[in-house]
Structure 1
């Protein structure tokens, strides 16, 4: 996936920025056949979601190891195939919602994986609400960028916002959501 996005000039510029950490998210690389199957198994493929890569920027060399400083912004690149169309040449709205949901979920995933502190990163989080505004038709057979960032944290709830942009920087959609950390079962 990294090599695919490095072959696209505007994506390569984003990935090769100093202090950028690229990674393939769990949703696109499921750990088991019973978890993350929608994106990683069902939608992934040559006619569907061809490639996915996420990245974030560290503030300094100590940022990754400092458990008190969470990653507050993650970007996700999605290479979209022909089979994701709703209307001819237009990305299905449900796929747009899936991309923003997954991109926002990656914020929790990366902080949990890096051992960041705080109640919201102590366990998995789930979408409690999602409000999306479609601004322009989404493309197929192209790559889009989804930027997601933490807007606020209140106890077990996280407010996350995101935007979807095409390769020319045109905003296609914006979204705000509420996520709730799931209490571990005893």
Structure 2
């Protein structure tokens, strides 16, 4: 794991929901209000809370020398908060694991994705990288990330390939994809840090092959920016759903 001589500032706490007590009570009384529509979710992507969270997380990683080097290595690099991390409207539980359960100062306090822009806006992005901060609440053994969480993060970042291409229009109106299999090899322990100074990992995900509804990917967890400290590797199949399966 690469170390920094400059201690980064503590990662930000997730912004609190702006819903008032009266709104929350009203949602409890009317279940229909607790299920936001697609337009509701779209409207919060550019909300002040989400923009603040994204800016704080990018600034956190830019304060760490080896992460900053990665984020400035390519001109016009697209750096953003992944859609699965977006703070959703009250009552929406889509992506709840990443956006809520693990979104805390002592679990996964910071998470961003980045990739170079494709030649054309609607061309496929075949590789996405992520920087993820790991605190003590994702431990298995003390100081070591739980193996199931490592697999979750590999699955998560590989899934961002489809989120990115869906957002750009490269995937058109393709139906959602679900994980068919995820074969993981653990090579070295994935270390975690403290609430005040979480450990950082780099995850690189690639789309390697397309066969109809089958999308094959690979993902690697690194403990440094040079790709030498390989901690875990996975091969996965994502299968596009048929409309009748929704």
| Structure 2 Cα separation of the partners of residues 21 and 13 of structure 1 | 14
Q: 1:10-159 to 2 correspondence within 5 Å?
A: 10-17=66-73, 18-32=75-89, 33-60=92-119, 63=120, 65=121, 67=122, 69-117=123-171, 122-141=174-193, 142-159=199-216
TM-score (norm 1): 0.90
More strand by share: 1
- Greater C-alpha radius of gyration: 2
TM-score (norm 2): 0.69
Listed as ranges, the gaps of 5+ residues in structure 1 are none
Conserved? CA contact 2:158–2:219, under 8 Å = yes
More helix by share: 2
Conserved? CA contact 2:82–2:160, under 8 Å = yes
RMSD: 1.6
The Cα shift of 1:117 comes to 3.9
Listed as ranges, the gaps of 5+ residues in structure 2 are 1-56, 194-198
The Cα shift of 1:123 comes to 2.3
